[in-house]
Amino acid sequence: MARVNENYLKLPGSYLFSEIARRVNQYKKENPDADIIRLGIGDVTQPLAPAVVEAMKKAVAEMGSPDTFRGYGPEQGYEFLIEQIIENDFRSRGVELAVDEVFISDGAKTDTANFQEIFGINNILAVSDPVYPVYVDSNVMAGRTGMVNDKGQFEKIVYLPCTEENGMKPPLPRTRVDMIYLCFPNNPTGMTISKEELKVWVDYARENRSVILFDAAYEAYIREEGVPHSIFEIEGAREVAVEFRSFSKTAGFTGTRCAYTIVPKEVKAYDSNDQAHSLNPMWLRRQTTKFNGVSYPVQAAAAATFTEEGKKQVREIIDYYMENARIIRKGLEEAGYKVFGGVNAPYIWLKTPGNMRSWDFFDKLMRQVHVVGTPGAGFGAHGEGYFRLTAFATRANTERAIERIRTRM
């Protein structure tokens, strides 16, 4: 008799964004004329840059000609893209990487969800609270947790509370952990940490032989000096960290799908005889067995973000969203909200007025001013009392949404 993976049964039924969609659809059914503005899900609105579109069309044309057609590419991605990534995203910041330390994939969600597969099932993991739900859910499915409690927290996971008091910066765990998920600039809080603060984590991992799973999907939004763009800017990080990057938020690839993961050869985990194994060949084995590479035209499109023209156009798109972020931050502050993020990230994390519960604030915002955001409670127990707005809407909708919040909430 075929048995299910019972770990799946530990997951609560409704996923955050499905529940939001359900409530919005219900409201729209009852109020068909409501002009709803969505600052909820982190999806972009600006089209692909012209240089990206041209490169992708050219690659599609190549696929239509016998002389330039490409079949299976390397599972880990084409070198023409990997070399651009190394040169532009790392060497420019003093970080040296080898070609076989970069793995191209179809998304950072995919990579952050899959990477745990190469670890043993008894590792203890630490996550920020609030947290991007994929880190937790993928580990629940793999069986690395116990059951969920009524606060939505799983046994065996060490949650690191990010609060107003600690400036939304996760504290070091009090008990020893093996796998540490960090995300900076952070989703959902929009906050960053300094190089010195990140070094504390690298040192912890070196001391405890832990591995840091560093999600830098929003790196391109960093504006301030002194904020690390890559964990590999930190001394010793090559021994203990992998890093996830994405073209989704950098170049509007949410619907085009391309990302990459850095796995330095020095990063290790241990078998039950305490023998060290490099994670790089294990991830290569995982990818060559369970993945078959990213579409060639998509990789060609991603490479175009690194041409002079592409870089300029992509920067303009990011500037556009960061101006939205400024407008949201300023508007909310003027309206008296306590606000985090939005300076080095496209996310604004606001404290709900009067400690209102975040789903109540969601309903009030939707019903009273027709603006949809994301309730902080959806990101974890310590997200309760907070609310996330994103800077990815159009300028016009961003301005209208903030005007409504300022004047009618």
Which residues are documented as binding site for substrate? 15, 42, 109, 132, 187, 292, 388
CA–CA gap between residue 280 and residue 287 (Å, rounded): 11
Q: Which stretch binds a copy of itself (CB under 8 A): 79-87, 108-116, 217-225, 324-332?
A: 108-116
CA–CA gap between residue 150 and residue 380 (Å, rounded): 11
Which CB, 54 or 363, lies closer to a copy of itself? 54
Report whether 390 contacts 347 (CB < 8 A).
Answer: yes
Cα angle 237-241-242, degrees, rounded to a multiple of 5: 130
Q: Mark the binding-site residues for pyridoxal 5'-phosphate, compressed into ranges.
A: 72, 108-109, 132, 187, 218, 246-248, 257, 292
Which CB, 52 or 401, lies closer to a copy of itself? 52
Name which of residues 223 to 252 contact a copy of itself (CB under 8 A): 252
Question: Of 210, 261, 305, 374, which lies in the binding site for a copy of itself, with binding defined by CB under 8 A?
Answer: 210
CA–CA gap between residue 396 and residue 203 (Å, rounded): 45
The residue type at 128 = S
Note whether 292 binds a copy of itself by CB under 8 A.
yes
Q: What phi, psi does 161 have (nearest 5°)?
A: -65, 130
Which CB, 275 or 407, lies closer to a copy of itself? 275
Give the x-and-dash track for 171-200 against a copy of itself (CB under 8 A): -------xx---------------------
Report whether 317 contacts 252 (CB < 8 A).
Answer: yes
Q: Mark the binding-site residues, compressed into ranges.
A: 15, 42, 72, 108-109, 132, 187, 218, 246-248, 257, 292, 388
Give the x-and-dash track for 259-278 against a copy of itself (CB under 8 A): ---------xxxxx-x--x-
DSSP state for residue 82 in the 8-state scheme = H
Which CB, 242 or 339, lies closer to a copy of itself? 242
The SS3 assignment for 372 reads: strand
Within 10 A of 93 (CB to CB), how many other CB atoms are there? Answer: 12
Q: Which stretch binds a copy of itself (CB under 8 A): 61-69, 350-358, 363-371, 374-382?
A: 61-69
Which CB, 78 or 387, lies closer to a copy of itself? 78
Note whether 30 binds a copy of itself by CB under 8 A.
no
CA 249 to chain CA centroid, Å, is 9
Looking at the DSSP bridge assignments, the partners of residue 243 are: 214, 262
Element (H, E) at 320: helix 308-334
Question: Of 84, 187, 189, 256, which lies in the binding site for a copy of itself, with binding defined by CB under 8 A?
Answer: 256
Q: Which stretch binds a copy of itself (CB under 8 A): 83-91, 254-262, 367-375, 401-409?
A: 254-262
Note whether 211 binds a copy of itself by CB under 8 A.
yes
β-strands 125-129, 179-183 pairing: parallel
C-alpha Rg value of the chain to the nearest Å: 21
Q: Which residues contact 274 (CB under 8 A, 6 or more apart)?
A: none
The SS3 assignment for 21 reads: helix
Name which of residues 319 to 358 contact a copy of itself (CB under 8 A): none
Note whether 9 binds a copy of itself by CB under 8 A.
yes
Q: Which stretch binds a copy of itself (CB under 8 A): 40-48, 79-87, 318-326, 327-335?
A: 40-48
CA–CA gap between residue 181 and residue 128 (Å, rounded): 7
Note whether 315 binds a copy of itself by CB under 8 A.
no
Note whether 26 binds a copy of itself by CB under 8 A.
no
Which CB, 243 or 361, lies closer to a copy of itself? 243
Note whether 282 binds a copy of itself by CB under 8 A.
yes
DSSP state for residue 377 in the 8-state scheme = G
